[in-house]
Chains A and B, each alone.
Chain A
Amino acid sequence: MVIPRGLREAAGVSEGTLMQVTLVEGGRLLITPQLAIDRAIVTSPLKNRKQLLKELASTVAELRREAKAKGLDLLTIRQIDATIAKARRAPSKTTRRRAE
């Protein structure tokens, strides 16, 4: 499915974003952007590798703190594998599409 650039940009959805498609009342389809990649980071010409690595370390540190606060740091590899398996077996309503 290709979403016209104008619509995509108006919705703030970057190219390659994972979309969830659900059926709503009246036989309409609702398309909801899922987790996206922060494309501005990827394309930013202002940051050098050292800065990007520093920011990556900082982001992971934040995620680790958040995971600990939510008890996710206790997940075992087996539980993580189960989640990965679930994501891989995802129902067809969630599909990866190119927005353009």
Chain B
Amino acid sequence: MIRAVLDTSVLVSAVISPHGPNAQVFDLITADKILPCISKAMLAEYRRVFSYDRLRHLDPQRIAKLCGLLEAVAVKVRPSRALKISDHEDDNRVYECAAAANADYIVTENTKHFKKPYKTTKIVNARQLLALVAEAGAGQER
């Protein structure tokens, strides 16, 4: 199964709207077609961002449940080494999670922040990942 780390903006976008590629990627997680990977730092940022600006208006109980369920179904890793790949320090936590989980992809809307792939982890946006999943599905049917 494809292993992917979702950048926070992808998760938020998927949670607030059922439309668009980010939502479709999340729906592939719930369909057990994509295996999400998380670390403590990633999970902390996921839940933290929902307490700011307009996102804080979402029911905290539902957000707590979302985070709990995500933690339960994801591959949980403890990155053992700090990486310094992105100029944006917080984005290095995403790289660290991906490296520890041997993730196939980091899914992000900010490909400028994630300029380089890391080892076997590629950087894609949701639309690109959906195309890759569709391609893999078509390949299996042949």
Q: Assess whether B15 is in contact with A63, with CB atoms less than 8 Å apart.
A: yes
Stretch at the interface among B52-60, B99-107, B127-135: B52-60
Contacts of A59 in B (CB 8 A): 62, 65-66, 69
Given the complex, which residues of A lie within 8 Å of B26, measured CB to CB?
Answer: 60
Inter-subunit contact A41/B58 (CB<8 Å): no
Give chain B residues whose Cβ lies under 8 Å from the Cβ of A87.
45, 48-49, 51-52
Any A CB within 8 A of the CB of B122 = no
Instruction: Answer whether residue A96 sits at the interface, using C-beta atoms and an 8 A cutoff.
Output: yes
Cα–Cα distance between A37 and B52 once the two chains are bound (Å): 17
Enumerate 25 A-B pairs (CB-CB under 8 Å) in ascending A order. A35-B48, A35-B64, A37-B67, A38-B61, A41-B68, A41-B69, A42-B72, A47-B72, A52-B69, A56-B29, A56-B30, A56-B66, A57-B27, A59-B65, A59-B66, A62-B62, A64-B15, A64-B18, A72-B16, A72-B55, A75-B16, A75-B55, A80-B13, A82-B53, A87-B45
Known pairs A56-B66, A72-B55 / 10 extra A-B pairs, C-beta < 8 Å: A36-B64, A50-B32, A53-B73, A56-B29, A60-B30, A61-B18, A64-B23, A75-B16, A81-B109, A96-B48
